[in-house]
């Protein structure tokens, strides 16, 4: 996925939550543009070490170039309140077998993203959040399969409880 235009101070938590949400819902990694932020890389590294998987994080200085390059091999989905409602396009997106780059914005997203995207998709036509939009989109795309994902090499594992917290060391 691609998180457009990260600002270190203002977006610290939201961008970290975009990364953690995309990791938990099975994305392979997150590119982000805007300010390079070592704190984000540290957060992802620590979560991978504890909770497993090989989620990647990479800063990209030229996000439009990334999107153009991605389109040579795959498809681009831009989440925006101005796009077509998810229920109208989700079947077509699921049927498409090519690798997907999901883009969420931050501050104003340049018009070119809307042109380059294969799908501009809205999760309701109301303004809310990149984290909320991403979670709903990925849940629908995966049809709930995120609940069964395994994260290889995890040091910790949650043992689900009706009440309270239980975490096991796996090694
Ligand atoms: N006016 C913006 C828009 O184009 O959706 C809302 C800005 S919001 C703070 C930041 C990002 O959250 C947007 O760029 C978009 O990726 C995502 N987002 C917010 N509301 C959304 C919605 N209803 N549907 C899809 N994505 C949304």
Using a 6 Å CB cutoff, which residues line ligand 1? 79-82, 104-106, 109, 122-124, 126-130, 133
Rounded distance from Cα 56 to ligand 1 centre (Å): 23
DSSP count for the chain of H helices, then E strands? 6, 8
Helix (H) or strand (E) holding 39: helix 38-51
- Chain segment 24-62, per-residue pLDDT in tens: 999 999 999 999 999 999 999 999 999 999 999 999 999
Looking at the DSSP bridge assignments, the partners of residue 157 are: 168
Rounded distance from Cα 3 to ligand 1 centre (Å): 11
What lies within 8 Å, CB to CB, of 21 at 6+ separation is 131, 134, 135, 138
Burial of 161 (0-12, 13-18, 19+ CB in 10 A): exposed
Does this model's pTM top 0.85? My answer is yes
For ligand 1, pick from 1, 90, 128 the residue to mutate: most ligand atoms within 8 Å of CB: 128
Please name each of the domains of the chain with its CATH number: 2-169 (3.40.1280.10)
- Chain segment 118-146, per-residue pLDDT in tens: 999 999 999 999 999 999 999 999 999 99
State the pairing for strand pair 156-158/119-122. Answer: unpaired
């Amino acid at each position: 996925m691609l998180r457009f235009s990260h600002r270190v101070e203002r977006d610290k938590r939201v961008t970290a939550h975009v990364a953690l949400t995309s990791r938990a819902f099975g994305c392979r990694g997150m590119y982000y543009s805007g300010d390079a932020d070592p704190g984000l890389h540290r957060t992802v590294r620590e979560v991978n070490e504890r909770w497993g998987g090989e989620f990647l994080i990479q800063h990209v200085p030229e996000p439009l170039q990334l999107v153009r390059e991605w389109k040579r091999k795959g498809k681009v989905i831009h989440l925006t309140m101005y796009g077509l409602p998810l229920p109208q396009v989700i079947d077509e997106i699921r049927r498409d077998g090519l690798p997907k780059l999901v883009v969420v914005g931050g501050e104003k997203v340049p018009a070119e993203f809307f042109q380059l995207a294969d799908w501009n998709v809205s999760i309701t036509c109301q303004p809310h959040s990149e984290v909320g939009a991403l979670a709903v989109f990925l849940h629908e795309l995966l049809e709930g399969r995120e609940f069964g994902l395994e994260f290889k090499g995890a040091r910790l594992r949650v043992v689900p409880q009706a009440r309270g917290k239980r975490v096991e060391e796996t090694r």
